[in-house]
Structure 1
């Protein structure tokens, strides 16, 4: 079964993929989907309910909430992509080298990884950001630190299976170094499960980034960020519940679509 056929046969996969594609495009060029300025205030139009002109309504300063959600994707999706990429590279390198090396280096590295796995990802991210300050780089490192341990463990498990295969042992017997064996033989056959887990962890990364912004550890106002937008609407839950509800629903749809798409591909595509 090809990837295209497998995707079509799972209900909801195409809508989920299309929705995620639109979100990704809006993260790069949000002005394609809205004519409004996310930071331009219009006091005369404050706290307007959702309508054809303002799909998500307007906030307390008259700013179009849908526009701010789209522009918020730039921050959240950008940091998520950077964090997942960093964690993927680190996880593959550490997991493959640890599995190939074995012995006490493998034990020391994996015990350190187990310690990181035992820490809640949000708590670990908060500790790192608190220690090194706010901003895009510390947030990226903080989120990647929570994703990395799981990827390293999967990469090591795959390496332990692959290192005993005949072609790897033949390469070692022929004089290939551990590094050459890792790059030429182990890595090309161990990255797929790690990549699948990294894509699943992208949803967790989005949730952690949004939660940090919700707690006030993201970009300061008036920056548009998903968690920050949800937090800003708390002061108007009675008069304008859409300020919190609609951005929250949007983030939830992103997470559900990403989870559904990745799990569908992983289940149906050999």
Structure 2
């Protein structure tokens, strides 16, 4: 059983559930990493989407690798593009090929190779691959169907790598908010205060370690980060999940906070 000094004032009891959830009810580290992860995840998803919409989906190449049919196409036009590399302008070569039914299809690709550009201007023949189930999905052999090719995997990989920590952070945020909104109030006590490596507004973030007693009589530990930690021994209200008291949050504002 927890004991409190007779000279220590008991803070005001939290409102009954369901109660409003202040933004600071979510752990500081969760909020900090969400601020970092969410923008980068958004940038990675945006880049992947733009690359896919502008350059075509990379899975077109995967499908062609799996079931592409080889044939030849004859060039009929060469045009300038707005893309440049080392002061040289890319050319887009347009060509046509026929499927086994005799239906004509279009294929195009960009290149800087003078030999291919000359062949295109002379209506040369190019080796191509197409998807028999969707002939509009095609490519010139040795090139990619998607403009950016495997480069689209870079932002996609970043997005996938960030998806796991983002999911865990959002789950932790949701759990802490739910515990604060519907948690059972119990009086706890500050056990110790420890400085963290984090800073906010040029002030160190302090981690307050507290204890409280569960309905079963077990002593449960918890932490909360703050810029204004209450002294050791100060009573504070804790909100806990009755089904799992180890899921708990400190009720705000903390004693002595301005």
Specify which structure has the higher proportion of helix: 1
TM-score range relative to shorter protein: under 0.3
Which of the pair has the greater relative contact order for Cα pairs under 8 Å at 6+ separation?
Answer: 1
Specify which structure has the higher proportion of strand: 2
TM-score by length of 2: 0.25
TM-score by length of 1: 0.24
